[in-house]
């Protein structure tokens, strides 16, 4: 035999990234590998978590490096599938998630698989997965994610009223602490309502989502402001503007204080329609330093329907039907911003309060 052909060059991993940065339970699943190989795989998995929110393509490169080293480890295949999903590589995502499901015997990746089918322009297959016996065994959070995917698939098919009904699940109006999926569910419901012309109800649900979306998982505050005709100021862009322009903008803000107060009074007078807390109102009125989710093939997710050959602007992995703006969690990998763990920080807020 001739010399072994070298594989693709692996993306560089910074020296400060160590295997210990990976969750212990995930590291435990790498025990079948040699120690040296397990350490390298772990470091690539950590990099996926670091890069996914802002650079999904580079995160996918690390995922593929891990897959080449540990393709027979179920959790690695699952993480590769999630990374591919975020990068808008629907076919690769579906293939990897199927492999992970086959190897692990777990069906918890079904919502991602169903949404990948939507990304491939096959909403009917997404609905088939949602109706499968395995989907009935999903945990509550995963059932909510699947409901969001189903709603999006119905909209893809032009079944707009059915898209609304798909989200009328117990978790939509459940009392108690805000759950990691709550913001995404409320946002998706608002989108579905808006799509059938129920604008006032959509405003209500966008407002509820904006009031608790402290980590910018969705753009609910922007959507609410847009629908109400309010301009949002991006503080980061303003701070980076040329000095004179920034000064002029700030001066204009000062001269418009009276108008702003009037707007706040008008907003307060509508509190019977939209019940949001002070922070939520401020976000809707003025915006905050916006953390927009990354888009790979568009902006937002497949819920908004799709053109010939695939979904429309609502198709980014970071904002697909599964999460309406969130980043699906990679097992054992901590994210810095838009994660379920970040949303859990709002757990002291009760759904009854917003």
Around Cβ 209, how many Cβ atoms within 10 Å? 31
In the prediction, which pLDDT does 133 show? 97
In the prediction, which pLDDT does 229 show? 85
In the prediction, which pLDDT does 254 show? 52
In the prediction, which pLDDT does 36 show? 96
Domain-located, residue 153: yes
Average confidence score pLDDT of the chain: 75
Domain identity same for 263 and 160? yes
Last residue of a domain, one of 91, 106, 121: 106
CATH number at residue 83: 1.25.40
Q: For residue 167, what are the CA distances in angstroms to 160, 268, 354?
A: 12, 29, 18
Alpha carbons 210 and 276: distance in angstroms, whole number: 8
In the prediction, which pLDDT does 345 show? 34
Domain identity same for 84 and 164? no
Instruction: Say if residue 2's pLDDT is above 60.
Output: no
Q: What is the mean pLDDT of residues 85-110?
A: 96
Domain identity same for 141 and 26? no
Domain-located, residue 339: no
Give the residue numbers spanning the domain of 189: 110-329
Domain-located, residue 85: yes
Is 120 or 244 the better-scoring residue by pLDDT?
120
Strand residues in the chain grouped as ranges (E): none
Domain identity same for 31 and 163? no
Last residue of a domain, one of 106, 130, 145: 106
Q: What is the mean pLDDT of residues 299-303?
A: 38
- Provide the percentage of residues in the chain whose pLDDT is more than 90: 60
CATH number at residue 178: 1.25.40.10
Domain-located, residue 354: no
Last residue of a domain, one of 106, 124, 153: 106
Q: What pTM, to 2 d.p., does this model score?
A: 0.69
Long-range Cβ contacts of 306-310 (<8 Å, 24+ apart): 306/118, 306/121, 306/123, 306/156, 309/121, 310/119, 310/120, 310/121
| Structure confidence by residue, pLDDT tens digits, 103-133 | 999 999 999 999 999 999 999 999 999 999 9
Domain identity same for 90 and 142? no
Q: Which residues pair with 350 in a beta bridge?
A: 177
Domain-located, residue 5: no
Q: Point out the least confidently predicted range of 23-37, 272-286, 311-325, 336-350.
A: 272-286
Instruction: Say if residue 275's pLDDT is above 70.
Output: no
Which residues are within 8 A (CB) of 228 and not within 5 positions of it... i.e. 6 or more apart?
203, 284
Domain identity same for 225 and 277? yes
Alpha carbons 251 and 254: distance in angstroms, whole number: 5
Provide DSSP, 248-302. HHHHHHHHTHHHHHHHHHHHHHTTTT----HHHHHHHHH--S--PPP-SSSSS-G
Alpha carbons 165 and 181: distance in angstroms, whole number: 18
Torsion-angle region of 275 (φ positive above 0: left; ψ -120 to 50: alpha; else: beta): beta
Instruction: Say if residue 329's pLDDT is above 50.
Output: no
Sole residue written with tokens 């497949």: 302
Is 130 or 308 the better-scoring residue by pLDDT?
130
| Structure confidence by residue, pLDDT tens digits, 146-197 | 999 999 999 999 999 999 999 999 999 999 999 999 999 999 999 999 999 9
Instruction: Say if residue 300's pLDDT is above 50.
Output: no
Instruction: Give CA angle at 188 (269, 121), nearest 5°.
Output: 150
Domain identity same for 88 and 185? no
Domain-located, residue 349: no
Is 269 or 140 the better-scoring residue by pLDDT?
140
Report residue 289's pLDDT band, with 50, 70 and 90 as the boundaries: very low
Domain-located, residue 80: yes
In the prediction, which pLDDT does 83 show? 96
Instruction: Say if residue 351's pLDDT is above 90.
Output: no
Domain identity same for 223 and 122? yes
Provide DSSP, 215-226. T-SS-HHHHHHH
Tell me how many domains the chain contains: 2
Q: Point out the least confidently predicted range of 33-42, 134-143, 245-254, 265-274.
A: 265-274
Report residue 8's pLDDT band, with 50, 70 and 90 as the boundaries: confident
Q: Which residues pair with 177 in a beta bridge?
A: 350
| Structure confidence by residue, pLDDT tens digits, 185-231 | 999 999 999 999 999 999 999 999 999 999 889 999 999 999 988 76
Domain-located, residue 336: no
221: exposed, middle or buried (Cβ count in 10 Å: 0-12, 13-18, 19+):
buried
User: Which pair of structure tokens corresponds to residue 270?
Assistant: 């509508």
């Amino acid at each position: 035999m001739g010399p072994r052909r070298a594989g693709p060059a692996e993306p560089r991993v910074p020296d400060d990234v160590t295997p210990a940065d990976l969750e212990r339970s995930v590291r435990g699943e790498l025990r079948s590998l040699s120690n040296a190989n397990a350490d390298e795989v772990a470091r690539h998995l950590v990099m996926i978590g670091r890069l996914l929110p802002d650079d999904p393509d580079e995160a996918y490169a690390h995922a593929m490096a891990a897959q080449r080293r540990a393709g027979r480890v179920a959790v690695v295949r699952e993480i590769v599938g999630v990374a591919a999903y975020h990068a808008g590589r629907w076919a690769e995502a579906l293939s990897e998630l199927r492999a992970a499901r086959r190897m692990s015997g777990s069906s918890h990746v079904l919502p991602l698989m169903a949404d990948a089918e939507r990304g491939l322009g096959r909403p009917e297959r997404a609905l088939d997965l949602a109706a499968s016996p395995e989907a009935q065994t999903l945990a509550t959070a995963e059932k909510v994610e699947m409901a969001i995917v189903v709603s999006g698939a119905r909209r893809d098919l032009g079944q707009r009223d059915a898209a609304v009904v798909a989200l009328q699940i117990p978790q939509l109006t459940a009392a108690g602490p805000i759950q990691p999926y709550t913001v995404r569910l409320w946002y998706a419901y608002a989108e579905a309502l808006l799509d059938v012309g129920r604008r006032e109800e959509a405003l209500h649900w966008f407002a509820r989502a904006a009031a608790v979306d402290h980590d910018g998982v969705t753009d609910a505050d922007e959507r609410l402001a847009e629908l109400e005709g309010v301009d949002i100021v991006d503080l980061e862009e303003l701070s980076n503007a040329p000095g004179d322009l920034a000064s002029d903008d700030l001066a204009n803000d000062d001269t418009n204080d009276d108008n702003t107060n009037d707007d706040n009074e008008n907003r307060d007078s509508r509190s019977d329609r939209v019940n949001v807390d002070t922070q939520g109102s401020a976000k809707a009125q003025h915006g905050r330093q916006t953390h927009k989710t990354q888009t790979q093939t568009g902006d937002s997710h497949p819920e908004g329907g799709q053109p010939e050959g695939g979904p429309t602007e609502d198709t980014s992995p970071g904002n697909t039907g599964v999460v309406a703006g969130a980043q699906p969690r990679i097992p054992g990998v901590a994210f810095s911003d838009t994660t379920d763990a970040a949303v859990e920080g709002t757990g002291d807020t009760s759904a009854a309060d917003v």
